[in-house]
Structure 1
């Protein structure tokens, strides 16, 4: 017998909401004791909508061991889910699918020394969760994160990334990390100014990350808008890297941002 739809989700409470720009927001909800996810996975969040429901996938920003669940959303003009999130406030109710999903998991790589995280927009969310896992820092010798946005005020996580230096589980490994901001539609101090695929092809990204990318040592995780993911994947293949598959290990994992 198929379970009733109600059995597949829980109703959670919004704990806080922060609007960083008119389009960018983060929020946290209560976490059921039984809810499990791996860093890099996403939740399905929903609302009652008339006679039915509206659901969308959002990568979890929180660490696996956090008591609450945090998410990062980019509000889309005329988007039905965005319209509901735009008016979300502390104390509101939101639906949480009981099962987290997704395969953007660094532990799937069987080897490698250098972990390169490439993202645009909300694609940074799974990487923020991954960076709070001490196992990642212990395993890789170098970790590099590039976050590409259109405008400088969209680099809303720079302080959070810097604060990892004080994280009690990570502080001794923080020297392994180098964060490279990328701003494509205006000049910004300290940021690169071209799309990630172009920065890969012309060598600017490897220079900024102070690493030489090689199939032997380098493992790439890519998350963001579909055009970036597609073009970055092509650039990496042209450079001699291959998609990672369970039966055929490679150097690239990727997922479209939600």
Structure 2
């Protein structure tokens, strides 16, 4: 049923750990839809990262490791690592990753990186995190990091998906952040989630780019249009969404930043999904 190259997840990765990687144990798996799931796994004691960064994770498939870049969805203080993944039926990695269960091993390279970090933005009043699909993952990390609330008075996360069920992870994560012992009080006051669907009818429909352009996003939030003096942005989603959202922000006077040159908005270029 699984085809010829199915991998014995319980043993292979643990027995053969490629150089520069560790084999971590899956501690929790939750499937949201036929296309989306999240999982948690152990975190090496020496592993350090900044909230919003991504890392290469993988599995041994046959005799060789297959890796893909995944944003870490847990905050930098979490004792475990969390990931939010799409399932691609013939995906070299995800068709196997989608079958993992508690106790299985996942490979992880030891060097995190990425541009969706607080350091890459100059301080402002309001932070917008624009995401589609599994692009919400780095924001799941950042909205649970105290530094985000040190830097911004308001944090607005937008999450657009085709169907309502695909929004469950962002809705659950934002609700959990508001109850969190570490940042719950700050999140309850400052964190807002704006969701929309693009295919299934819902209370709020439309691509995030359309909702920015029409002004509907700001009207619904009761906020003024984007202003480079006060507003900052982070963008994570499909390539087309990145390009279109970047153009909208630039048209409103915001400048793209980087780790070595902080500015008004940043994009996760390694992300596709």
**TM-score (ref. length: structure 2):** 0.87
Which residues of structure 1 form unaligned runs of 5+? none
- Cα distance per residue 1:168-211 (max 9 Å; x no partner): 2223222111110111102113xx21111111111111122222
CA 1:247/1:170 → structure 2, altered by over 3 Å: closer, same or farther? closer
The question of 1:232 aligning with 2:232 is answered no
The question of 1:129 aligning with 2:141 is answered yes
Quote the Cα distance in structure 2 between the aligned partners of 1:246 and 1:34: 23
Quote the Cα distance in structure 2 between the aligned partners of 1:10 and 1:81: 17
What pairs up with 1:65-104 in 2 under 5 angstroms?
Answer: 65-104=77-116
**Is the 1:144–1:209 Cα contact (8 Å) retained in structure 2?**
no
CA shift at 1:32, angstroms?
A: 0.7
Quote the Cα distance in structure 1 between the aligned partners of 2:19 and 2:73: 25
CA shift at 1:108, angstroms?
A: 1.9
CA shift at 1:245, angstroms?
A: 4.1
The question of 1:251 aligning with 2:267 is answered no
CA shift at 1:247, angstroms?
A: 6.5
CA RMSD of aligned residues (A): 1.6
The question of 1:107 aligning with 2:135 is answered no
CA shift at 1:246, angstroms?
A: 5.6
Quote the Cα distance in structure 1 between the aligned partners of 2:260 and 2:74: 30
Counterpart of 1:8 (choices 8, 20, 28) is 20
Query: Residue 18 of structure 2 aligns to a residue in which SS?
Result: helix
Quote the Cα distance in structure 2 between the aligned partners of 1:111 and 1:117: 15
Quote the Cα distance in structure 2 between the aligned partners of 1:35 and 1:247: 22
Question: Equivalent residue for 2:3?
Answer: none
**Is the 1:200–1:236 Cα contact (8 Å) retained in structure 2?**
no
The question of 1:187 aligning with 2:201 is answered yes
Quote the Cα distance in structure 2 between the aligned partners of 1:221 and 1:250: 11
Query: Residue 168 of structure 2 aligns to a residue in which SS?
Result: coil
What pairs up with 1:188-203 in 2 under 5 angstroms?
Answer: 188-189=202-203, 192-203=204-215
Question: Equivalent residue for 1:142?
Answer: 154
Question: Equivalent residue for 1:49?
Answer: 61
- Cα distance per residue 1:135-161 (max 9 Å; x no partner): 211221111110010000101121221
- The number of residue pairs the alignment matches comes to 252
The question of 1:160 aligning with 2:163 is answered no
Counterpart of 1:205 (choices 212, 217, 227) is 217
Which residues of structure 2 form unaligned runs of 5+? 1-16
The question of 1:63 aligning with 2:108 is answered no
CA shift at 1:248, angstroms?
A: 5.5
Query: Residue 25 of structure 1 aligns to a residue in which SS?
Result: strand
- Cα distance per residue 1:54-105 (max 9 Å; x no partner): 1011111111111111100001131111111121111111111011111211
CA shift at 1:29, angstroms?
A: 1.1
Quote the Cα distance in structure 2 between the aligned partners of 1:118 and 1:81: 26
Which deviates more from structure 2 when the two are superposed, residues 113-122 or residues 167-176? 167-176
